[in-house]
Structures are given as C-alpha cells and as structure tokens.
Amino acid sequence: MAKLAGVSISTASKALNGRDEVAPATRTRVLNAAARLSFRPNALARGLISGRTRTIGLLTDELGGRFSIPVLLGVENALANEQMSVLLCDARGDAIRRRHYIGTLLSRQVDGFIVLGDDNDLRPSLTGEIPVPVVYVYGESEDPDDLSVLADDEGGARLAVEHLVSLGRRRIGHITGPQTYRAARDRVTGTRAVLAEHGLTMAGGGPLHGQWTQRWGRHAARVLLATAPEVDAIFCGNDQIATGVADTLTDLRKRIPDDVAIVGYDNWEEFAADCRPPLTTVDLDLEDLGAAAARLLFDALDGRPAAGVVRHPCRLVVRESTAPVTP
Amino acid sequence: MAKLAGVSISTASKALNGRDEVAPATRTRVLNAAARLSFRPNALARGLISGRTRTIGLLTDELGGRFSIPVLLGVENALANEQMSVLLCDARGDAIRRRHYIGTLLSRQVDGFIVLGDDNDLRPSLTGEIPVPVVYVYGESEDPDDLSVLADDEGGARLAVEHLVSLGRRRIGHITGPQTYRAARDRVTGTRAVLAEHGLTMAGGGPLHGQWTQRWGRHAARVLLATAPEVDAIFCGNDQIATGVADTLTDLRKRIPDDVAIVGYDNWEEFAADCRPPLTTVDLDLEDLGAAAARLLFDALDGRPAAGVVRHPCRLVVRESTAPVTP
C-alpha cells in the first residue's frame, strides 16, 4: 500500500494514524491507496489467531464528570495512534454495574484496562478481578502494587503560589472546595509549603473550605476581606470559585489585579477566559495525562509493567488577573 | 443462573442489565450467581458464529464539545441495557481520520453505527461508506433517506418565550450566538413565531447575534438597554450569554426578575444554577436524545429501519430569574 501511494512505510503508517506531520495531500494519497487495496483485515478473526484483540476496555465511574472527558480524549487518541480501539463502559459509580462491565469487557477479550476515576481520591483496586494489565488514571488505586497516573495537585498549587510570590504578593489567602476532596487537601499542602519557604503565613490564618462554586467564592471573598482586609492575592481551588471571588471584589470596588491578584485552578476555558478579568489559572493537562496512561498500558502489554504512582505535572496559564504589585 | 439466584429469568436479565426496578439485594444475588457460574461466554467467538458482535461503533466529531458527552452517556446506557458495547472513535473533525475510523470499525464488524455531531448543523451523509445501519444524532445528515435524531431547538425557544409572555412580559429582547449556527437561527425562528402569535415585536427590533460567551452577553445587554430601555425580558441563546446579561443588569442596578426577567438556554448547571440569580433555562435533555438514537438503531438492527428527522422535545427549567410582572 505504501508502494502504491509512493511513500515510505513509516509515512504511510503516520498517515493512517492521523499524525500531524504528514501533509494532507500525502495522507489523501495513502488513504486512497489503502481504499483501492481494500486494506481492511478482519480484526475479529485476527484477534482469535494472535490472542490479541487490539482493544482496550475503558472503565469510567462518572463520564458526566468534567474531568473525565479530556482524559478519555487523550486515551482514545493515543490508542488510535497505535491502531487500537477503545470499548467504553461507564459504571456510574455503581459497584454492581462495574463488576458486570468487567465481565463484559473480559468476555470481549480486551488486551488491557484503563480505569478512569471521577475524582482524584483513593479507590479500591479492581486488579484482583482483572487478569490483564490495568492502569488507573486520575483516581489512585489503594493498592501500591497497581500503577496509578495522577495529576500533580500539590505541584500545581506550588506553581500558583510561587507565581504570586514572584509578583511581590505577600498577603496571600486561599479559598477552596470541601476538605473531603483530596484535590483540595493536596492544594492546601502545596500552598502552605511555598508560603513557609518564603517565611509567609496564609492571609486569614488558614484556607477557607466550602463548595466548588461561584456562590461559595462570592461569599468566602467577603469573609476573607473582613478578617484580612490587607489581603493582596487570593489563590482559589478552582476557576468557579475564582469567578465568584472576582464578582465580590468588583462589587466592593477592589481593583483586580492591582489591589488583589487572583489565581484559579483547572483552566476551565468557559470560566477562566471569560472572567472579569480573565483568570491566571493552573491547567492539569488532562489530555496529556490520558495519553501518558495509555503509553504506560502499552508498556505493560509489551511485558514491561510498572507499579506505584506517576504524578503528571500541571502548568500555569497566565492571564490578566495577576500582575506585579504596583509600588 | 437465575435458578441459582432464586429469581425469574426476566429478573435476572434486568439485574444483569442494571435496570433500576431490581432491588439492590436481588441484583447482588444475581451477580453473585453469575460469578459463581463463571457466566462469561466468549463474545468474540460468538460474534463469528452468529454474525453479530453486539458492538456498536460510535463515531464522534468532537468529543471535547460539551454537548457530545450527555448524548454519549445516553447512548452508552441504552446499549448496556441491551448487553451491547460501544467502540468509541473521535474523528476530531478530520475527514481523513473519519474514513480511517470507519474502516477500523467495519473491520471489527460492528453491528451498526451512531454518528454523533458536534453541532446541530447539517453534515454530509456517511451512509454510502457504511454497509450496516446508521443513526445520526444531534447533527442532521444532509441525506433525507438517513435517520437523524435532533434536539427541537425551535420548540425549545417557543417554551422560553411562551413562559415569558405568560408572566406578562411584553417587551422581550433576544441576545444570542452567531447567525452561522443553526441552533441560533432555529431559536430566533421559534422566538419570532411566539411573539407574532401574541401580536408582539422583538424589543430592539431584532435579535443581537454575537458569540456564545458571557463577554458578549455583558456587552449586548448594554446595547439592548440603550436601544430599548423599556425591555422587560431578555431571552438568551445560551446560559453563558445569560450570565453576562445578568452581570450587566446588576451593574446597571436593574433588578432581576422584577425589572427584567432572563431566560437562558442549555441548563448548563455550573452556569445556570449559580448565576446571580439562578437562571430559568431550556434543557435539551441530551441524555434522553442519545437513548432515543440508540433505540432507533435497535429498531434498524431488528429490520425496522426508519428515515427522516426525529425532533426530540426540550423542557423548561424554571428558576429565580423569571417571575410575573409586578403591577
């Protein structure tokens, strides 16, 4: 087929895999060659012969959750690049449904599993029920012998607070979500660590824990300004809270970022980019996280399994809600 | 297995399918029985014998789009209830990638396709390339011989404007997204129809078209209030625009809903429920839409194919941003 298209085997493979580095005209040529040769092996029969179906089971707990989707996209894309397919099962947080789905996926002889958490808390291991390689992504397996690929939330918070300190902010408050969430706790840990490294204490005496909503952000900002009127920066546990904080600061005629700088978390475009003013925030790079999990599953399928926790770095996205302290 | 669990075959089937009407304890019993009997037929070999794989290919164009996910969830759930699985492929709006995926799904002998649009515009038919049943959902196929299952956007707008008129609002404006979007045009059509039926004209003389963002809502509300200061209600093309409109009305010391009522669109929880005040809005019932598409695909697989356009009704969700005119 590569010969018919007049390209190298590697180019043909890249074109079929939809890689960006192949020119559109070349891809068209390769695809046309593939079509003329009816290049469509019977994957089902092939699976029976080789013992491999080139199919991965993706087991999610709550696909409706906003964080699952970019991770899923990253997994799907990485699998497609390896000519593998993904069978999708959403257990909706139901243990019985999950067990049933595991059985279904095994009966379809998937080569491996990716288990996608709906939050980043610890979760019971499923590996005992699954005789093929498993990688956990976003949510961590309780079993340290499993492999879990997680966002580095403590590191993300460090990026945010380092940024504020580097801008000359010294009275930094923290408004975040419920303490029951590991994401909230890890971000508090990172925040405290950076403040301590610079000999600073948290404005208001400690983090304000509430809901992951604008409503909580609006309320908590009033509380923080009452207890720590000198606050010059607020690091928020997500972009919705940050949006609510910005609303209250605007209501109280505080200038953002001149009087108070704000950093959000998540880089949820619809909130962060459209906030008044647009938010500096932390991006979890979730699509990359999903791709990383898929690659680690490939390693396991190739006989190189790993164990433990891999923390995937976050990155800071700077917008107008932060700027240096004006003298 | 049903015997071992001490239930009827129908109950066992419901329990395995994860239907709600089975008591949790019963489901556990059935699942345990299934596990003890190692009830796990080799789906792959069964597929080769019967010619059916009980697998559906779900081809999306942009899973990152917010509207795809609830539709996908509805499809996945409906398939799971019929012991069918979904192979997921996201073409990311790339025609070459889409053709390649169609080949992949056919080589895996899927029983049928669901093609999930990323917007509700017309899209080229793929049916000519696919020898098994296809149902289009959310986005309409250009070929009227195909079956497309769509949200009823004109009907959704009618619900919104009927609601405002029933509350005594008479000077109703409309701020919405780009005219290039069918969703925007259909909602304008529905809005105009209801206004005409009540002998009303649109405040400001016509719809204000812009972006699907809070920023546009904030700006357009200023424009509308300048050209039609008597406006007593604003129907917005989505919840983000409505949030921006609410921001501006609050800035201008207009009371919501007393002075100006607001209706949004989409029932995007994070925006609608947390707006100041919470938004009355139109819900597209996208999960239901996905389930409806799956059921129509089952009909086609059972030899009862349909053609044309099925419009799935929307529903109005009333919150604090609308109330009767105060005398």
Per-residue pLDDT at B68 exceeds 50: yes
CB contact under 8 Å between A31 and B96, yes or no, is yes
B189 contact partners, CB below 8 Å, separation of at least 6: B154, B157
- pLDDT, residue B174, reads 98
Q: Work out the pLDDT band at B50, boundaries 50, 70, 90.
A: low
pLDDT in tens, A76-90: 999 988 889 999 998
3-state secondary structure of A3: helix
- pLDDT, residue B12, reads 64
How does the average pLDDT of chain A come out, rounded? Answer: 89
Torsion of CA A177, A179, A180, A185, to 10 degrees: 100
Q: Is the CB of residue A249 less than 8 Å from the CB of residue A228?
A: no
pLDDT in tens, A190-200: 999 999 999 99
Q: Which of residues 120-159 of B touch A (CB under 8 A)?
A: none
**How many angstroms separate the CA atoms of B175 and B86, rounded?**
39
Report how many Cβ contacts below 8 Å link chain A to chain B: 147
Range in A116-120, A323-327, B212-216 the model is least confident about: A116-120
- pLDDT, residue A284, reads 96
Per-residue pLDDT at A46 exceeds 60: no
How confident is the model over B244-266, as a mean pLDDT?
Answer: 97
A97 touches B: beta carbon within 8 Å: yes
Closest Cα in chain A to B104: A40
Per-residue pLDDT at B43 exceeds 60: no
CB contact under 8 Å between A247 and B94, yes or no, is no
Per-residue pLDDT at B277 exceeds 90: yes
How confident is the model over B269-285, as a mean pLDDT?
Answer: 96
Distance from CA of A200 to the nearest CA of B (A): 34
pLDDT in tens, A22-39: 777 776 776 666 555 544
Q: Work out the pLDDT band at B39, boundaries 50, 70, 90.
A: very low
How confident is the model over A275-301, as a mean pLDDT?
Answer: 96
**How many angstroms separate the CA atoms of B252 and B248, rounded?**
6
Please give the single-letter amino acid code of residue B126.
L
pLDDT in tens, A55-106: 999 999 877 777 888 999 999 999 988 889 999 998 888 888 899 899 989 9
B19 touches A: beta carbon within 8 Å: no
A227 contact partners, CB below 8 Å, separation of at least 6: A204, A205
ipTM: 0.80
B104 touches A: beta carbon within 8 Å: yes
A274 touches B: beta carbon within 8 Å: yes
How confident is the model over B20-39, as a mean pLDDT?
Answer: 64
**How many angstroms separate the CA atoms of A227 and A217, rounded?**
15
B25 touches A: beta carbon within 8 Å: no
CB contact under 8 Å between A87 and B55, yes or no, is yes
Q: Which residue has the higher pLDDT, B90 or A197?
A: A197
B53 touches A: beta carbon within 8 Å: yes
pLDDT in tens, A198-207: 999 999 999 9
Q: Work out the pLDDT band at B122, boundaries 50, 70, 90.
A: confident
Per-residue pLDDT at A12 exceeds 80: no
How confident is the model over B141-150, as a mean pLDDT?
Answer: 96
Per-residue pLDDT at B121 exceeds 90: no
- pLDDT, residue B34, reads 58
Residues of A within 8 A of B76 (CB-CB) are: 63, 88-90
How confident is the model over B233-253, as a mean pLDDT?
Answer: 97
- pLDDT, residue A39, reads 46
Q: Work out the pLDDT band at B47, boundaries 50, 70, 90.
A: low
Per-residue pLDDT at A45 exceeds 90: no
Per-residue pLDDT at B264 exceeds 80: yes
Q: Which residue has the higher pLDDT, B295 or B81?
A: B295
How does the average pLDDT of chain B come out, rounded? Answer: 89
How confident is the model over A162-188, as a mean pLDDT?
Answer: 97
Closest Cα in chain B to A96: B28
